[in-house]
Structure 1
Amino acid sequence: MRSGNEPVTARSPLRLRFWLSLWGLIWAGAGAAVFSLAGRAGWAAACEVVALLAAADLVVVRRHMRQGPHYQPGPDIPPYEPPRRG
């Protein structure tokens, strides 16, 4: 819903989220490998879970990025008051 106080130059944080997820995937994968080699199965499993979550987030972010921009009213559309609950 448009309330009129949105910034004109707002940017989507998808690229930042993509790079942070990729960074987490790399570190979690490396951690899983190191802990696995060190014989720490519990920590390796925890790192694998984090890596799976980061990979799932990467898939979601890429899907949203490929969808492209969604309709947003332009600056020529005047803001309107949100509906009053009553």
Structure 2
Amino acid sequence: MFACALYPTNRDFLNSVRAEVAYQIRRLKYHPSIIIWGGNNENEAALMMNWYNIPARELHTYIKDYVVLYVKNIRKIVLAVSNDFSCNRI
């Protein structure tokens, strides 16, 4: 779902991401070859190695957005939906 780009963290985008992640997990979670959910396709490395040449004074903003998107939103949904056997939450 995500590949080598910096993504917004505004409310509309996060709502869209939450819906998409929940949908994909519900759709795929019983597939026999799913062993791990991964969703940031090198974005963490891109930030840490500064692939985008972001000025140092601005880097903290992008790191904060990364945490909001992947840790506070996507991770939360993955844990909730993948552990919900009824698939009716979120």
TM-score by length of 1: 0.41
Larger Rg: 1
